[in-house]
Amino acid sequence: AGTWPKHETNSCQNRLPAMTQDEGTRRPLELIRIDNHGKCHVQERAADIISQLHGKLAVVGVAGLYRTGKSFLLNRLLGSQTGFEIGGTVNACTKGIWVWGEPIEIEQDYHCLLLDTEGLGSAQRTASCDMQILSLCVLLCSNFIYNSMGSIDEQAIDDLHLVLHLAKHIHARSCDGDIQRASDLKDYFPQFLWVLRDFHLRLVDGEGQSISEKQYLESSLSSVPGHEDKNRLRNVIKELFKMRDCATLVRPLVNEEELRNIHRVPYESLRPQFRQQTENFVTKVFDELQPKAIQGTFVSGPAFVALATEYCKAINASAVPTIQSAWSSAVQEQLRLCQRNAIHIYQAGFQQEMHGKLPMSEDKLHDMHKVAKARAMDAFLTPRLDEATPKLHECRSDTASRIKQIFEDAKEENRSASKLLCESVAVDLYKTRIECKLLSTGHDSFQSVELLMHSWEQLRQEYTAATAGPSQGEVLSVWLFQQMAESVQKLSSNLQRAADGRYGRLKQKYSEVEHSRRRSESVERLLLAVPTMTERHLIPTLTEQVRCYQDAVAKRRAGLAAVDDLHGQMLSYQWRLRVIENQLATADTATSHPSAVTRSRSTCSLVGSVAGIRQQCEEVMATLGEYGTHHVLSPPGLPIRRAEAEHQNGVEHLRKLATETFEEVSTETRQLISGETGNLEWSKIAAVLQDRQRRCRDQLDEACAGWREASNGVQPAGEEVLRAWSGLAAAADGLVYALCSGPGRPQPALLQALSSSAARVMEVELVDSAGLDGLESSDAKSTANQAQGMIVPRTFSASSEVSQVEIKTFSPEARLRLVISVLERLRDAECLHRVGKAFLQQSSLGTTTIQPASTANEQLVPWLVETLLEATCQAAQSGDENNTLGLLNLCHNLGGMAFADAVRSRGSRTKTWKGAKPVQLAEAAGHHRVVRLLQSWPDIEDTNSGGCTCVGLRRPPSSGSLSAFKSSKQIGAGVREKSLPQRIKGALSAAGGWRRGNRGYSKFGA
């Protein structure tokens, strides 16, 4: 219980709950008043204070003969000299039962009440009234203190004669005719502490040994043989109070006058022995303090008040107080009050939250219900009744049912308010947003079903924002959707009538326009069917020269490849022959000198040749750099230098060849020396080596003859390339001049010839440039070129539209100047799409890796990009699905998804379509299938049963379907990195503003 106050300065008020800390409660309050007619009345003021204590409650009550100092003992429990009234006359100071107004806080949710009772045996009260006071004190206390004067003798025990009647005036349960024993009450009676005032005896037993106060009490209550009447009272005391103790106090003062006014005497002026015994008494009371409990359930403040009320009712009705009945009535009354309070709290909180907010969503209403219900149930459980209380679960369920009914009523009210609001808002929105436009015939009316549905969507959003509650979806799905269907049907009828009228008018105009178009096309066909003399001569010439140029470059590339292959074979046979000759010399020495020493030395030499083979391999590796950087021709031809990007590949090829050759030779040598090396064996070894030497020389001679023959074929192939280029350049010069100087629109045949030629030449530069290695000629280099097997082409003049100087050289710069000049003229004529279409129809760019030439790729790849873009725009505008799909696939094969996406999303640079993207052109022309293709590619199905018929197109993995192109990593892993090497990507960056991203080249610029 802690340390309790021992004097007036150590007040316990700081341990009291905040609700009792006021001047009005720091005094004794009358708890039960007994009027002159013997009726008991519970006082409201004290009951209200006690009802606020919802935890455990310990009750200490003092009873005894009047004028024996009971109030003084309670004041000492309070640690004060004042508190309960103390008088010095023969009249009783306390009437009825009083309680200290400040309950003592033992710990959290555990308080102690101090009860002071009217003195027994007063001349002003009857024996019946004394019985009532004693019964109420015993029934209400958890710790009962009986105060008497002197020692425990027969007179003191006789003064407790009222205890004999407690069993008659108090029942543990309804007896129903059964005789109740005193032992039936022991479980309900409090602890008993007998305080002996003015005690002056020594506590010793019959042998003079010291005994405790409790032992003294038990000795006094022991049976006296032969005195049944005296023993009966002793036995009743022991049966009723199973937990009992005793405390003795000496006379506090010697002076009688001071004793009569002891409440005015300072506590420190009392006898020291009395003060010490008083402190021991206080400590004993609080150490043995226990909470009030009935049937294992702790009694709270409200239950205590209810018990007191029930006991008073029984006494007033001249009935015997029954503890169990009173407890059940108290519990029921407490549950009834808790239920009423909980329902009141729920209604107040719930209705306050709902006020002015209906309608609302059911979820929000349910959340408010949960909060209010939680508060109500917390209030219901505030008294902290034991869960084992029979009526608790029943009352809690009843409370929850009543709360649920209130909630259901609130839900119905919310549903009605929601329906009223939703219907009102729906009608207003329909009239202002839909109906007025349906009835209008002006520009603000609906021109399409899409506009109507857009308005309905806006109406739905406004309706959702303006309404709430459970009827929101119901009104939307029933009333508004019905109005929507009717409005769509009405608008469709209106639009159909308007469309029929417009169709008739447009049909008439279409007939007139079609007639004019046919006449214009007839005249245009007649004019275009008459080409000039120059065009009739140059167009087939250009076509033939371009074909010859392509074939000659391919032939020369094949010849150089054959030269490289045969030269590598020659080197391999030479390396092999050198090793065999060294081994053969060792074998000859061993066979010509058959001594053991010679054979041993030869064996060691042959075994050591394996290490020599590795050394020869390293020496050969060190000299391969010169061979790998050139195409080596047989004399008198000079080596032709490879392109810069091919140097490393040539060197790596020769190193791999050398490694394989020397590994084979090393393996053959190990097999040769695996057996014994006697005289007969060395003869066999020499024979094997001679056979290998003969076969290797034959193979070397055969490879050398093929090498010479391939080298001799390089020069004629170079001459064919130069002759074809000379004719191609002259024909292109003439056609460009005709394109720039001719009147009116250019001839389609002329444009087609230049476009196809430009595409073929670009293909040679981008794909087949290996056939042009070392093939350069000019006036300054003609002598050296002739010495290398090349000729100087005849000069031909070029117009100022192609170049400001005569084309006298065959070099990458000269070829690029001619191709770019043609492309620029085609762009001026807005015909670059023809070049892109030519790539799609006859190019092998989709299946061949672009060669990493330095200058050509950097300058031609941007033109390749622009031609494919314009071709895609033209195909989209004309609604050509096959060409659109083919061009997208070609772009994908060249540069991956990023490249194809850039072509789809970039705008045309032509004057007619400047800025328009392919999808915009297709949409403007009404080609919806092409629009879907451009928007969804490659995640769409190709619906053309025949597939794409374009030549040279690398199709997706799944025939007729683009669904396989799901991941840019899958489609770009091989194609993008191989077909667009780093130097090509640099050209794209310089010309078009490409930037490297997570998926390759993510943006296309100029």
Are the C-beta atoms of 285 and 59 separated by less than 8 Å? no
Residue 43 has pLDDT above 80, yes or no: yes
The DSSP call for residue 173 is: S
Confidence at 8, pLDDT banded by 50, 70, 90: very low
Q: Tell me the average pLDDT across 359-368.
A: 83
CA 606 from chain centre, in angstroms, equals 73
For position 854, what pLDDT does the model report? Answer: 53
For the chain, report the end-to-end CA distance as a whole number of angstroms. Answer: 92
Are the C-beta atoms of 757 and 729 separated by less than 8 Å? no
Does a cis peptide bond (omega within 30 degrees of 0) precede residue 531? no
Q: Tell me the average pLDDT across 369-387.
A: 72
| Cα–Cα distances in angstroms (integers) from residue 373 to residues 334, 387, 401, 402, in the given order | 19, 20, 11, 11
Alpha-carbon gap, residue 995 to 47, rounded angstroms: 87
Task: For 758-769, write each residue's pLDDT tens digit.
Answer: 888 888 887 777
Q: Tell me the average pLDDT across 1002-1006.
A: 32
What sign has the CA pseudo-torsion 952, 958, 963, 967?
A: negative
Tokens of 799: 């117009």
Q: Are strands 104-107 and 56-64 parallel, antiparallel or unpaired?
A: unpaired
Confidence at 987, pLDDT banded by 50, 70, 90: very low
Read off φ and ψ for residue 115, nearest 5 degrees: -110, 130
Percentage of the chain modeled with pLDDT above 90: 3
CA 283 from chain centre, in angstroms, equals 64
Q: Label each residue of 595-645 as H, E or C.
A: CHHHHHHHHHHHHHHHHHHHHHHHHHHHCHHHHHCEECCCCCCCCEECCHH
Would you say the pTM of this structure is higher than 0.85? no
For position 59, what pLDDT does the model report? Answer: 93
Taking each helix axis as running N to C, give the angle between helix 127-140 and helix 301-316, from 0 to 180 degrees, rounded to the nearest 10. Answer: 160
Name the 3-class secondary structure at 1001: strand
DSSP for 683-730 reads HHHHHHHHHHHHHHHHHHHHHHHHHHHHHHHHHHHHHHHHHHHHHHHH
For position 58, what pLDDT does the model report? Answer: 93
Confidence at 62, pLDDT banded by 50, 70, 90: very high
Which is more confidently placed, 990 or 478? 478
Amino acid at 388: A
Are the C-beta atoms of 700 and 577 separated by less than 8 Å? yes
Q: If we measure between CA atoms, which residue out of 173, 188, 169 comes closest to residue 315?
A: 169
- Per the prediction, the chain carries an average pLDDT of 75
Least confident of 23-37, 154-168, 171-185, 381-395: 171-185
Confidence at 6, pLDDT banded by 50, 70, 90: very low
**Cβ-defined contacts of 332-335 (< 8 Å, 24+):** 332/391, 333/306, 333/309, 334/300, 334/302, 334/303, 334/306, 334/383, 334/385, 335/385, 335/391, 335/392, 335/395
Are the C-beta atoms of 233 and 164 separated by less than 8 Å? yes
Task: For 271-326, write each residue's pLDDT tens digit.
Answer: 899 889 889 999 999 998 989 887 777 888 888 888 888 878 877 877 655 665 65
For position 713, what pLDDT does the model report? Answer: 84
Residue 581: which residues within 8 A CB-CB, separation 6 or more?
693
For position 965, what pLDDT does the model report? Answer: 30
For position 70, what pLDDT does the model report? Answer: 82
The DSSP call for residue 322 is: B
Q: If we measure between CA atoms, which residue out of 846, 936, 834 comes closest to residue 875?
A: 834
DSSP for 956-971 reads -SSTTB-TT---HHHH
Task: For 606-636, write each residue's pLDDT tens digit.
Answer: 777 777 788 788 888 877 776 767 777 777 7
Which is more confidently placed, 804 or 85? 85
Task: For 865-922, write each residue's pLDDT tens digit.
Answer: 888 888 899 898 888 888 888 888 888 887 788 888 888 888 888 888 878 888 888 8
Residue 383 has pLDDT above 90, yes or no: no
Task: For 195-225, write each residue's pLDDT tens digit.
Answer: 998 888 888 887 888 999 888 888 888 888 8
Count of Cβ atoms closer than 10 Å to residue 492 Cβ:
12
For position 246, what pLDDT does the model report? Answer: 93
Residue 725: which residues within 8 A CB-CB, separation 6 or more?
549, 793, 810, 815
Residue 989 has pLDDT above 50, yes or no: no
Task: For 621-680, write each residue's pLDDT tens digit.
Answer: 877 776 767 777 777 777 777 776 677 777 888 888 888 888 888 888 887 777 544 444
For position 94, what pLDDT does the model report? Answer: 66
For position 524, what pLDDT does the model report? Answer: 62
Residue 479 has pLDDT above 60, yes or no: yes
Confidence at 390, pLDDT banded by 50, 70, 90: low
Task: For 277-289, write each residue's pLDDT tens digit.
Answer: 889 999 999 998 9
Residue 127 has pLDDT above 80, yes or no: no
> What's the alpha-carbon Rg for the chain, to the nearest Å?
61
Residue 542 has pLDDT above 50, yes or no: yes
Task: For 162-200, write each residue's pLDDT tens digit.
Answer: 665 655 556 555 555 444 555 556 677 888 899 998 888
